Structure 1
Amino acid sequence: MEEESLENGNINSHLLADVDCEAESESSATFILVFSTFIAVCGSYVFGTCLGYYSPAEIGIRDDLDLSESEYALFGSIMTVGAMIGAIISGKTSEMIGRRGAMGISELFCLIGWLSILCSKNVWLLDVGRLLIGCGIGLLSYVVPVYIAEITPKNLRGGFSSVHQFMITLGSAMTYFIGTAVTWRTLALIGIIPCLVQLVGLLIVPESPRWLAKIGREKDCEAVLQRLRGESANISEEATEITDYIQNLKQLPEDRILDLFQRIYARSLMVGVALMLMQQFGGVNGIELYSSSIFEAAGFSAKVGITAMAIVQIPMTILGILLMDKSGRRPLLLSSSVGTFIGSLLAGVSFSLQDHQLWKKVTPVLVFVGILVYSGSFGLGLAGIPWLIMSEIFPINIKDSAGSFVSLVNWSSSWIVTFIFNFLLERSPAGTFFIFSSISGLTVLFVAKIVPETKGRTLEQIQSVMNPLTARR
């Protein structure tokens, strides 16, 4: 009966709402919870600064170090290679030394990487620095949302976890804007600041209570929960649920990468991997990395277009944060996917009209509008929710291996899209955006039929439905 309930996403959503458990009183956002989240998302800001550095630094780096176009393209793409390496080691690192330790290691990678770029006199040191930063953000992309999900109460988890994507967006936008006014070396120096803030802050914030329970430190788990929820909060029910669930998981095999492909984890793996594939093959990194080329191909001002893209993502991401724990994950994902579908379709139709020499004065503006619709819609949900759901749907006994695998899928897909995007754009701009709109359309169907609603449930309650065999007593 439990297995049949997993055949349909809508049924799955209803089951989550009907899990037989006593409702907890809603927890408030304590100072230490807010501060811990802030320190965690400093890593997200570092992630954003790395993404935003490429475009404003291009002219200065190429002039100062005499780089060719292909050499600078390698500088940009090697970050993704580093991120794949970081993704591979993220799960085991987080499992062995904890969530705080993994964030600290990632920031050391980023710090050394920024220093290498800052001091570079030749292309190899520049590329080494970018590669190291890539390793760092590959680690951060997994451990930050997992840490936030594991320290926050169920009624606040969605909104707090969404700050991860907001800080990526903010870091990228701020780096772009600052980069228009300072040199590329100064911009690299500024990139070091959030690395140092997180490294210092990690000495103060608590470890994940669920990770502490997993390694057998139940008393420390309870102490951290009390600190996170407030001295007057009653944590007995939450602490019991965590420890009971961990005891059940001890009956399962040791965490190995091959264990992910067992039938009991099939639904979690399918949802996690599919969301990452659809997020990336919807074209986001190609569109953002080659936005200048897109606007130039459309006959629109690249500077105006890129600036508008950076601006529109911030309020849309904030809107997603505000709605996350009210509307839920699935409605936001559906709205976001519909928006990226419309934006891609509008850009594709506009380029198609240009190919047929129709509406020449209007099509540049239509491409601009389509890209803005796509960019804003992506920030609303698709940007961050797949990472949030990834942090929620896997049981803690395989979460580290699953997180590494899913993160690797995401970064590998990102590399493929960025590698082929320019070729596709040169061959057929209209066809490129029609492909992206088709994938966005498939995302709408997948979310509507398969993806569960996880709002308002503890991580342990989610497992009772997504992976029922791991929750049996």
Structure 2
Amino acid sequence: MSFNKNNPNAVGKIMGYLKQLSTDMGGSEQTRRGQGDEERLYRARGPKYARVPSRPTLSASTTCTSLATSCGSQGTLAPNYAAIPENVSTESSSEDEQDSFEKTRRHFQQLRQISLGNEFKYKMEMEIKSAKDENLRNSVPFVKQLSTDSNKVKTNYAINGDSQPYNAPTTQSLFLWTQVFAALAVSMGSMIVGFSSGYTSPAQSSMNATLIIGKEEIGWIGGIMPLAALAGGILGGPLIEGFGRKLTIIGTAIPFFLGWMLIANANGIAMVLAGRAFCGLSVGVGSLAFPVYLGETIQPEVRGSLGLLPTALGNTGILLAFFAGIKLDWRHLAFLGGALAIPFFLLMLITPETPRWYFTKNRVEDARKALQWLRGKNVNVEKEMRELTRSQAEADLVRGNQFKQLFAVKYIPAVLISLGLMFFQQLSGINAVIFYASTIFESAGSNIDPQLSSVIIGVVNFISTFIATVLIDRLGRKILLYISSVSMILTLVALGSYYYLQNVGVDVKPYGWLPLACLIIYVLGFSIGFGPIPWLMLGEILPSKIRGNAASLATGFNWTCAFIVTKTFPNIIEAIYMHGTVWLFSVICLIGLFFVIFFVPETRGKSLEEIEKKLTGGSVRIRNINGNKHMQNGC
């Protein structure tokens, strides 16, 4: 049969037409240039797939497979099936030709379906591969940027409340040492505070032998310091806001030194009282300035441990006064107190001002330098600077009288929590127990020497503070306050029961060790919780806008409570006896426990900004203002 398009036979017409089409379209330059890529794709994809040329190149010997593929899906992948032999006979009956045509058509339809399925599969594979390539292209610059940033700053671990990387150290030794130095410098002032508190006990006997003083005058020697501290606490707030934290703390060294020199050179009771008043003034200012300074300079990860250094060195000062008083008389003991003010003054000259105070004065570059000194010269402080800027922006939105702001609705929770902690700290009876320890042991009829018992309690008070330093950043503030409250409640109830049984005539001499044991546990519990934590949280929970004035208010309130407790303790004993007084303190401690459970927040590991937002609902107003601005701009 002749394969010519003019052939009247149907099959001959089709085959002749395809031959002419192959002659017209085949052999172009574009097709020949594309054959190299098709061949490479064939080798890469394997023998099963081959790209059919976008323009068919058919000849008289074209197989049915190529025919089906070129007609069904030009420019796509098609399986390479074995070629179907072509019938080349030129003479056959009409029926044979018709049967051959039907078989060819059916086979063509089958191969077309296969070709379409493979085309869809290939397109899906290429889309997936393209998406993967696109993701890779987008991710490579990001990975490269991360690598570059990590090479620049390898020690930029999360700080100020951010989640930390796994196994990342809390702080680095480089900037940890600078923070330790600042904490020790401030704590030297706290040591003088403790020395001032412990001075009267060892100096009283030698002072009585030198100066002519009465019982009432001795009471004023001990009581004038809390009164002066009350005045110092009130003055301290405006001082740390106006002159700065650092300058105010440095200034406390001068009244300390003058006060001790007046006492050491006193020729009468008036100079002694004047010297004690000067020391009390510095005690009041330092009591609020020390925790504020540490709270604004130390990172959250170590703020608990380093924030307790003032309390620890304060107890060291008390112990130093007790032991030095064994060998030194009251004059030489005063000279020792004056000598402590000198290293305190020199160390504070080296430490920087707090970055937060610089921000309140719009001294951003000074704040950056101070923060860089505290964190280390190789540490990136930009993130912390942004947080300080945001915090100050929120504080600047609040205008008006600063003392009125103390009672603003958003600040009331923080102020009341601070006042509550100070109230329960002093109303737990700790100052009454410390000041009247010898009297308590004498009235208990214990078989242990009262002076020895006082020294033992002083040592326990000293050691327990270091225990709190180790635990506070592991257990948190609230857990230690729970332990402190429960231990004081149990020991005061037991001690009150001892006094009650003694008062009703029960022989308690076989239990003469109980008062000392109860007071040791009582002081231990107080020193790990309600002793240092209210002062630590004073610098944590008060918002930056009112921190100075609120700290002044809380400190003044604390010293007022201390004065009331120490002055009224003998009168309360006369009214409700010793067991009633001790039980009264235990009831107050129980109320304090519920106060901690329901109102005191946990501040461990949180930045000051996070604490402030939690207590005041921070940045809500800023978001509302920004939203209003956007709405106005949109309109």
Q: TM-score range by the shorter chain?
A: over 0.9
Q: Name the counterpart of 1:160.
A: 306
Match of 1:232 in 2: 378
Which residue of 597, 603, 624 corresponds with 1:448? 597
**SS of the residue 1:147 aligns to:** helix
Give the Cα separation in 1 of the matches to 2:161 and 2:353. 27
Structure 1 residue 23 corresponds to structure 2 residue 163: yes
Is residue 336 from structure 1 mapped to residue 484 from structure 2 by the alignment?
yes
- Percent identity at matched positions? 29
Paired residue secondary structure (2:410) = helix
Which residues in structure 2 correspond to 1:130-169 (within 5 Å)? 130-169=276-315
Paired residue type of 2:171: S
C-alpha distance after superposition, 1:172-214 (max 9, x if no partner): 1111111122111111111112211111112111111111111
Counterpart CA distance in 2 for 1:450 and 1:287 is: 27
Match of 1:15 in 2: none
Q: CA deviation at 1:363?
A: 4.1
For 1:121 and 1:50, how far apart are their aligned partners in 2? Answer: 20
Asked if the contact 2:189/2:286 (under 8 Å) is kept, the reply is yes
Q: Give the whole-Å Cα distance in 1 for the aligned partners of 2:334 and 2:571.
A: 30
TM-score of the aligned structures, taking structure 1 as reference length: 0.93
1:323 aligns with 2:471: yes
In the alignment, structure 1 residue 277 sits paired with structure 2 residue 277? no
Structure 2 counterparts to residues 94-113 of structure 1, below 5 A: 94-113=240-259
- State the Cα RMSD in Å: 1.5
* Structure 2: unaligned runs, 5 residues or longer: 1-159, 623-635
**Residue deviations 1:309-340, cap 9 Å, x none?**
01111221111000111111000111111111
Moved more, 134-143 or 236-245: 236-245
Alignment: residue pair count:
454
Which of 56, 65, 72 is matched with 2:202 structurally?
56
Q: What is the aligned partner in structure 2 of residue 412 from structure 1?
A: 560
For residues 338 and 488 of structure 2, the distance between their equivalents in structure 1, rounded to whole angstroms, comes to 33
> Which one-letter code corresponds to 1:194 in the other structure?
L
Distance 1:442 1:365 in 2: 28
Question: Does residue 172 of structure 1 match 2:301?
Answer: no
Contact 1:313 1:376 (C-alpha < 8 Å) held by counterparts: yes
Distance in 2 of aligned mates of 1:255 and 1:329: 32
Q: Which amino acid aligns with 1:271?
A: I
Contact 2:161 2:605 in 1 (8 A): no
Q: Which runs of 5+ in 1 are unaligned?
A: 1-19
Alpha-carbon deviation of 1:27?
Answer: 2.9
TM score, norm. by length of structure 2: 0.70
Equivalent runs, 1:243-262 vs 2, <5 Å: 243-254=389-400, 256-262=402-408
Shift of the alpha carbon at 1:61? 1.0
Question: How far does residue 471 in structure 1 lie from its aligned partner after superposition?
Answer: 6.2
- Which of 1 and 2 has greater Rg? 2
Is 1:435 matched with 2:557? no
| C-alpha distance 178-458 of structure 1, shift in aligned 2 (>3 A) | same
Q: 1:324 to 1:416 in 2, by over 3 A?
A: same
**After superposition, where does 1:182-221 map in structure 2 within 5 Å?**
182-221=328-367
Post-superposition CA distance 1:16-68 (Å, at most 9, x none): xxxx9743673335322111111100011011001110110111112211111
Aligned position for 1:8:
none
Shift of 1:138: 0.2
**Contact kept in structure 1, 2:394 and 2:618, CA below 8 Å:** no
- Alpha-carbon separation, structure 1, partners of 2:179 and 2:339: 22
Q: 1:198 to 1:433 in 2, by over 3 A?
A: same
Shift of 1:406: 0.5
Query: SS of 1:305's equivalent?
Result: helix
Q: Alignment partner of 1:264: what SS? A: coil
Q: Report the counterpart of residue 186 of structure 2 in structure 1.
A: 40
Match of 2:10 in 1: none
Q: Contact (CA 8 Å) 1:78, 1:134: kept in 2 or not?
A: yes
Q: Of residues 215, 219, 241 in structure 2, which corresponds to 1:69? A: 215
Greater share of helix: 1
- Deviations along 1:332-359, whole A, 9 cap, x unmatched? 1111111111221121111111101223
Deviations along 1:222-257, one digit per CA (max 9) or x if unpaired, are 111111111221211111101111022111114522
